[in-house]
Structure 1
Amino acid sequence: MFRLQMTLLVVSFLLYQSTCDGFSEHFTTRSKSGAGVRASSHRRWRDSFPSTRQWMSSQAANGEAALQGNFLGYQDNTVKPSVSSTAALTVEKQQQKQIIQDYNVPSVRKVLAFAIPAVGVWLCVPLLSTIDTATVGLIAGTAQQAALNPAIAVMNYSAKLMTFLFSGTTTMIAAAQERDRSIQKDCVDNDNPRQQTVHCLIGALQLSTLVGAGLGALVFVLARPLLFALMGSASTDPTILAAATSYVRIRAPGMAAAAMVGSAQTACLAQGDVRMPLYATAITAIINLVLDLVLIPTVGGAAGAAWATTLSQFLSAAWVMQWLIKTKRTRASATATSKVEQDNNLKQSTSTKSTRGFLAGRMRFRDLLRMPSRDVSKGFAPFVIPVITTQAGRCSAVATIDHVVSSSLSTASMAANQILTCVYYGLVPVAEGLSLAAQNFVPGITERDGSPREKSIAMRLLLKSFLKSAGLCGIMLATIMGTLPLYSGAFTTDAVVRGIVSSVVPLFFITCLKHGVFCASEGILLGQKDLRFLGAQYAVYTFAIPYLLLQLKKAALAGSSVGLFDVWRLFLMYDLFRTAVMALRIFRLERKRASAGMV
Structure 2
Amino acid sequence: MALKIIPSILLLPRSLHHFPPRQNPNLKSLSLFPTISHPHLPLHFSSLSISALHPTRFVTARAIQPRELTGDEGRISEPSEEAKIENEAATQGVEKELANQGIWIQLKEIVKFTAPATGLWICGPLMSLIDTAVIGQGSSIELAALGPATVVCDYMSYVFMFLSVATSNMVATALAKQDTEEVQHHISVLLFVGLACGFMMLLFTWLFGAATLTAFTGIKNAHVVPAANTYVQIRGLAWPALLVGWVAQSASLGMKDSWGPLKALAAASVINGVGDIVLCTYLGYGIAGAAWATMASQVVAAYMMMRTLNMKGYNAFALSIPSGREFITILGLAAPVFMTMMSKVAFYSLLIYFATSMGTHTMAAHQVMVQTFCMCTVWGEPLSQTAQSFMPELLYGVNRNLSKARMLLRSLAVIGATLGLLLGIVGTSVPFLFPYIFTSDQMVIREVSSFFL
Q: TM-score, normalised by structure 1?
A: 0.54
Matches within 5 A, 1:7-22: none
Instruction: Tell me if structure 1 keeps the 8 A contact 2:135–2:286.
Output: yes
The structure in which a higher percent of residues are helix is 1
Equivalent of residue 166 in structure 1, options 164, 167, 170: 164
Matched, 1:425 2:424: no
Alignment of 1:333-482 (within 5 A): 357-359=311-313, 363=315, 365=317, 367=318, 371=321, 377-403=327-353, 421-448=370-397, 455-481=401-427
Which runs of 5 or more structure 1 residues have no equivalent in the other structure?
1-54, 74-80, 184-193, 326-356, 504-599
Which one of the candidate residues 280, 286, 306 is aligned to 1:301? 286
CA-atom RMSD in angstroms: 4.3
C-alpha displacement at 1:391, in angstroms? 0.8
Secondary structure of 1:235 counterpart: coil
d(CA) in 2 for partners of 1:248 and 1:413?
Answer: 21
Q: Deviations over 1:298-321 (max 9, x none)?
A: 694333432332233223323333
Q: Which residue of 1 aligns with 2:96?
A: 93
Mapped to 2, the partners of 1:68 and 1:498 lie a distance apart of: 80
Q: Is contact 2:162–2:334 with CA below 8 Å preserved after alignment?
A: yes
Letter in structure 1 aligned against 2:210: R
Contact preservation (8 Å) 1:125, 1:156: no
User: The residue matched to 2:177 in structure 1 has which SS?
Assistant: helix
Q: Secondary structure at the residue paired with 2:315?
A: coil
| Secondary structure of residue in 2 paired with 1:222 | helix
> 2:238 aligns to what?
254
Partners of 1:120 and 1:374 in 2: how far apart? Answer: 37
Question: How big is the shift at 1:171?
Answer: 0.7
Equivalent residues of 1:105, 1:441 under 8 A apart: no
Name the CA distance, whole Å, in 2 between partners of 1:244 and 1:498.
21
Rg larger in 1 or in 2? Answer: 2
Residue number in structure 2 paired with 1:77: none
Quote the residue 1:321 is aligned against: 306
The code of the aligned residue for 2:315 comes to M
Say if 1:116 and 1:430, in contact at 8 Å, map to a contact too.
Answer: no
Distance 1:482 1:83 in 2: 59
Deviations 1:268-320 (A, max 9, x none): 12223222111111221222334445555769433343233223322332333
The secondary structure found in structure 1 opposite 2:106 is coil
State how far apart, in whole Å, the 2-side matches of 1:69 and 1:228 are: 87
Structure 2 vs 1, CA of residues 116 and 68 (structure 1 numbering), >3 Å: closer, same or farther? Answer: farther
1:244 to 221, 224, 228: 228
Q: Which residue is equivalent to 1:268?
A: 252
Q: Which runs of 5+ in 2 are unaligned?
A: 1-38, 51-76
Question: How do 1:576-591 residues align onto structure 2 when only pairs under 5 Å count?
Answer: none
C-alpha separation between the residues in 2 aligned to 1:285 and 1:499?
Answer: 29
* Aligned twin of 2:67: none
Deviation at 1:137, TM superposition (A): 4.1
State the alpha-carbon separation in 2 of the partners of residues 173 and 399 from structure 1. 32
| TM-aligned CA deviation for residue 70 of structure 1 | 6.8
1:111/1:364 Cα in 2 relative to 1: closer, same or farther (>3 Å)?
A: closer
Alpha-carbon distance in structure 2 between the residues aligned to 1:411 and 1:89? 69
Alpha carbons 1:105, 1:462 under 8 Å: kept: no
| 1:106 match | 106
How many equivalent pairs are there?
379
* Identity value in percent: 27
Q: Is the 8 A contact 1:205 1:264 kept in 2?
A: yes
